[in-house]
Amino acid sequence: MADYQTHEHDVLIIGAGGAGLRAAIEASTAGVKVGLICKSLLGKAHTVMAEGGIAAALANVDDRDNWRVHFSDTMRGGQYVNNWRMAEIHAKEAPDRVRELEAWGAVFDRTPDGRILQRNFGGHKYPRLAHVGDRTGLELIRTLQDHGIHQGIDVHMEHTVVTLLKDGERVVGALAYERERGRFKVFKAKAVVLATGGLGRAYKITSNSWEGTGDGVGLGYDAGAELIDMEFVQFHPTGMVWPPSVVGILVTEGVRGEGGILTNNQGKRFMFDSIPDNYKAQTADNAEEGWRYCQGDKNARRPPELLTRDHVARCIVREIKEGRGSPHGGVFLDIAWIKEKIADSAAHIQRKLPSMYHQFKQLADIDITQEPMEVGPTTHYAMGGIRVDADTQMSNVPGLFAAGECAAGINGANRLGGNSLSDIIVFGKRAGEFAAKYVKEHGAGQVNNDQIDEAVRRSLEPFERGATKGGGAEGPYQVQAELQEMMQDLVGIVRTEDEMQRALDGLGKLWERARKVAVYGHREYNPGWHTAIDLHNLMTVSEAITRSAIERKESRGAHFREDYENKDAAFGKVNTVVSKAADGTMQVRRESIPEMPEHLKQVIEEMK
Amino acid sequence: MNTATFSIYRGDSNGGKFEDYTTEVSEGMVVLDAVHGIQSAQANDLACRWNCKAGKCGSCSAEINGMPRLMCMTRLNSLPLDKPVTIEPIKAFPHVRDLVTDVSWNFAAKMKIKKFKPRPPDAPDGSWRMAQGDIDRVQEFRKCIECFLCQDVCHVLREHNKHEEFIGPRLLVYTAALEMHPLDTEDRLQDLKDAYGIGYCNITKCCTKVCPEDITITDNAIIPLKERVVDEFYDPLKRALKLLRPKPKPENDHV
């Protein structure tokens, strides 16, 4: 084996967004040696993009809220294919995790009596999101970062993991390359936590940063971890659609929480037209009641703009398809209208939605206090991912844990806004806690030198394919762009068997091309090379999404099939499970969801 | 479709030069879009940092036509496109490659600042009470996205290389957020004077001008901290009075 620089940690955490940082803090508090790898600089992870807030039943604004309501909201939103134990833990533990952030220096917006303020969000029965204007993700990540740097965690910035290292069945570390110098490094560890976030970069229109290439899901899958429910990809209803260079960038649901309404090109507020039966009792049937809800009237029901994301996204697609869209292919989201209700509305909007105001002003030259925004659906979040044990977050591979977006279970078929920031702190903490526990119970394993040499050889191949600056072999960006277009067109918001089969054929061809891409230049800080390496995980997650989506022959939550438009009770009892067969092919099967215990069934019954 | 030319600094710590790239531009594009276009079609190995492309992560800092800015928040229609747009790395830190610099000093310097230390909780459930009016200022500071443009433009770091003695505007804002946090009980005044070198700042306000988050760095963070340091260490009358009186409680400690 060549001589690689080697680091040894007890727990190695891959990913330094909210879940990774929270896991690192917990593991180091438990007294084990922690290494944290991040693909970018510390504090730049996609968590900074989260705007709306952290869902936690603190009951500071509405005292009717509690974990039971949060649990049943989450299960209803997820169409009951969620891992009910994760949903239960999440609803119970989120308030403590939020209070803990305050103890570590987070500065949330306040209620008049000085407590943490909470705001309305889609699918949540009561105002539940602890927030800081519309930059809650930044507050969360900065708080964890600043608390974490005093904990003795070894942070390895701008490192990219190429493969997980295994000793028999068990994971014992990772091989990574350091971006600045392009050198490979071996990270030995007794346990590994994957906290790599999302996979939105598999699609053309996405709110995700370049980092969202499904690394954790791909790495875990290759190491033998099972994936579940990969067909559930959330398309956030409101991404920017204009100008072209900002297509996909998120417009927070907080805009609707503060009273923003959706209208079509005829000026009609279309969301009142289609309120699903299971939400009818909780949804306002007139504009006045919806406005009162946004103003905190406890007797009012929520406006239809705050129905779940899957539903709102589909309604928007319908308006656009039927010719009632806005000039640039979206619909209108209007918060400026509240000037009819509030005297100093411009200042109010700037205070409640400062970064949205800023974003539209600078990127689209639009003043959202005066005119409506144009918005449309954007790929936002993966409900599916690595299958983990609800309590410990360990995958089916010994020593391999996962938390946050790359782990699956809590959200079922559709995630409620705000449940992601609470997910990452609740389960990030648990992953760190149980990884540390695992480390204390298990010794070190052996890394396999042949595995390392092989991975290094494969990673360097793109340099050897004779690429030249002027042409020659195909570059990685072209394959990536074609993959994104294909997934957008064929495995997007509305799906059919025929199109998805075409996507599978397309994926087969793209796999071939991905294995032959070439890069030039040297290894130091080379984004072309990085993109070539990213392709493997992007292709893996795209194939898993497509195969799972073909397997689920019904429409549920974020997964909508034109050829099976309705929910099928039989599919309501199963998860789709993806695993890698011995011959390297991807297998999909259905597996029954364990029966929900009586006490939780009762909670759901009470909240109907 | 129109085209525009971008003169981008290419090279590493051994040196480099500007290279011109001409690419198509369209309505609404920002500088980062042009860099991405050049990267995918003409220069796969062009090194630059970026993440969110929405002005929230602070990764894509660069000097555009000589001004420190975020590439993702600089619209092309705000620049004269009849001549090449120059894009070069920020200058206050060691160069790595092309548009990327080694900003790790900022992370190391932050670790020297005493961490947040809250007073005991106000309520039995472990929570605190704070009035919104008392945290508005702190929230302004916490908008910082750590793009380090203020560090780049600060002459103490940029021209005089006082990285050993001075933490720079970003970390003074960070310290101000801690010092003005209603719950914090730590005292960082001695460190501000000695370890953090606040005296080096002579209030040219360049940092405030380049802040993409519009944080009033100089007026709201640095000057109040300077006043606190002066009160503590240089005002003979106040020093004498302090000997006679017990330390006052923090002004926000009222709920």
Q: Which of A236, A387, A536, A552 is catalytic?
A: A236
A528–B45 CB contact, under 8 Å: yes
User: Nearest by CB to A114, which of B26, B73, B255?
Assistant: B255
- State the smallest CA–CA distance between residue A227 and chain B in angstroms: 26
Contacts of A520 in chain B (CB under 8 A): 44-45
- State the smallest CA–CA distance between residue A516 and chain B in angstroms: 16
Question: What is the structure's pLDDT at B44?
Answer: 87
Distance CA B172, CA B198 (A): 8
Q: Where are the beta strands (DSSP E) in A359-513?
A: 373-382, 385-387, 400-402, 407-408
Contacts of B46 in chain A (CB under 8 A): 527
A559 catalytic? Reply is no
Angle at which helices A67-77 and A598-606 pack, to 10 degrees?
90
- State the smallest CA–CA distance between residue A586 and chain B in angstroms: 31
User: The dihedral of CA A430, A432, A433, A435: what is its sign?
Assistant: positive
Upper half-sphere CA count for residue A331 (Cβ side, 13 Å): 31
Task: Give me A121's structure tokens.
Answer: 């969000």
Residue B250 has pLDDT above 70, yes or no: no
A48–B51 CB contact, under 8 Å: yes
Distance CA A25, CA A432 (A): 7
Q: How long is chain A?
A: 608
Task: Give me B207's structure tokens.
Answer: 């940092």
User: Nearest by CB to B130, which of A110, A133, A481?
Assistant: A110
Q: What is the per-residue pLDDT across A394-434, written as a single tens digit (0 to 9) for each?
A: 999 999 999 999 999 999 999 999 999 999 999 999 999 99
Q: What is the per-residue pLDDT across A366-398, written as a single tens digit (0 to 9) for each?
A: 999 999 999 999 999 999 999 999 999 999 999
B130–A46 CB contact, under 8 Å: no
Low-confidence ranges of chain A (pLDDT < 50): none
- Picking from A300, A285, A342, the residue whose alpha carbon sits closest to that of residue A120 is A300
Please name the helix (run of DSSP H) or strand (run of DSSP E) that holds residue B9, with its range, or none: strand B2-12
A44–B29 CB contact, under 8 Å: no
Chain B residue nearest residue A110, CA to CA: B132
Residue B253 has pLDDT above 50, yes or no: no
Chain A residue nearest residue B139, CA to CA: A107
Contacts of B102 in chain A (CB under 8 A): 180
Residue B149 has pLDDT above 50, yes or no: yes
Q: Which of A70, A97, A256, A495 is catalytic?
A: A256
A256 catalytic? Reply is yes
Distance CA B84, CA B7 (A): 6
Residue B254 has pLDDT above 60, yes or no: no
- Tell me whether A3 touches chain B (CB under 8 Å): no
B56–A355 CB contact, under 8 Å: yes
Coil, helix or strand for A17?
Answer: coil
Upper half-sphere CA count for residue B178 (Cβ side, 13 Å): 23
Distance CA A229, CA A588 (A): 10
User: Nearest by CB to A210, which of B26, B47, B51?
Assistant: B51
Please answer whether residues A22 and A54 qualify as being in contact, where contact means their C-beta atoms are separated by less than 8 angstroms: no
Residue whose entry in the numeric block shows the structure tokens 């991405």 = B36
Task: Give me A535's structure tokens.
Answer: 């392709």
User: The dihedral of CA A559, A563, A565, A571: what is its sign?
Assistant: negative
Question: What is the structure's pLDDT at B241?
Answer: 75
Distance CA A122, CA A305 (A): 8
Own/partner contacts of B15-21, CB < 8 Å, gap of 24 or more, are: B16/B95, B16/B98, B18/B86, B18/B88, B20/B84
Mean of pLDDT values over B83-109: 97
Which runs of consecutive H residues, i.e. helices, occur in A108-232?
Answer: 136-148, 215-222
Question: What is the structure's pLDDT at B235?
Answer: 82
B75–A250 CB contact, under 8 Å: no
Task: Give me A516's structure tokens.
Answer: 């032959």
B55–A358 CB contact, under 8 Å: yes
Please answer whether residues A7 and A28 qualify as being in contact, where contact means their C-beta atoms are separated by less than 8 angstroms: no
Question: What is the structure's pLDDT at B255?
Answer: 41
Tell me the helix, strand and coil percentages in chain B, rounded to 5: 35, 15, 45
Angle at which helices A419-441 and A84-103 pack, to 10 degrees?
90
- State the smallest CA–CA distance between residue A337 and chain B in angstroms: 25
User: Nearest by CB to A138, which of B103, B145, B174?
Assistant: B145
Question: What is the structure's pLDDT at A270?
Answer: 96
DSSP string for residues in A284-300 = -SSHHHHHHHHTT-TTS
pLDDT band for B248, please (50, 70, 90 cuts): low
Contacts of B21 in chain A (CB under 8 A): none
User: The dihedral of CA B244, B246, B250, B253: what is its sign?
Assistant: negative
ipTM summary value: 0.93
B39–A527 CB contact, under 8 Å: yes
- Tell me whether B129 touches chain A (CB under 8 Å): yes
pLDDT band for B1, please (50, 70, 90 cuts): low
Distance CA B205, CA B224 (A): 14
Chain A residue nearest residue B98, CA to CA: A525
Measured in degrees and rounded to the nearest 5, phi and psi for residue A527 equal: -65, -30
Contacts of A355 in chain B (CB under 8 A): 55-56
| Residue A337 DSSP label | G
User: Nearest by CB to B52, which of A42, A105, A209?
Assistant: A209
- Tell me whether B55 touches chain A (CB under 8 Å): yes
Chain B residue nearest residue A115, CA to CA: B129
Q: How far apart are the first and last CA of chain B?
A: 62
Contacts of A105 in chain B (CB under 8 A): 115-116, 118, 178, 181, 184
Residue B123 has pLDDT above 80, yes or no: yes
pLDDT band for B246, please (50, 70, 90 cuts): low
Asked whether the whole model's pTM tops 0.90, one would answer yes
- Tell me whether A361 touches chain B (CB under 8 Å): no
Contacts of B75 in chain A (CB under 8 A): 362-363, 365
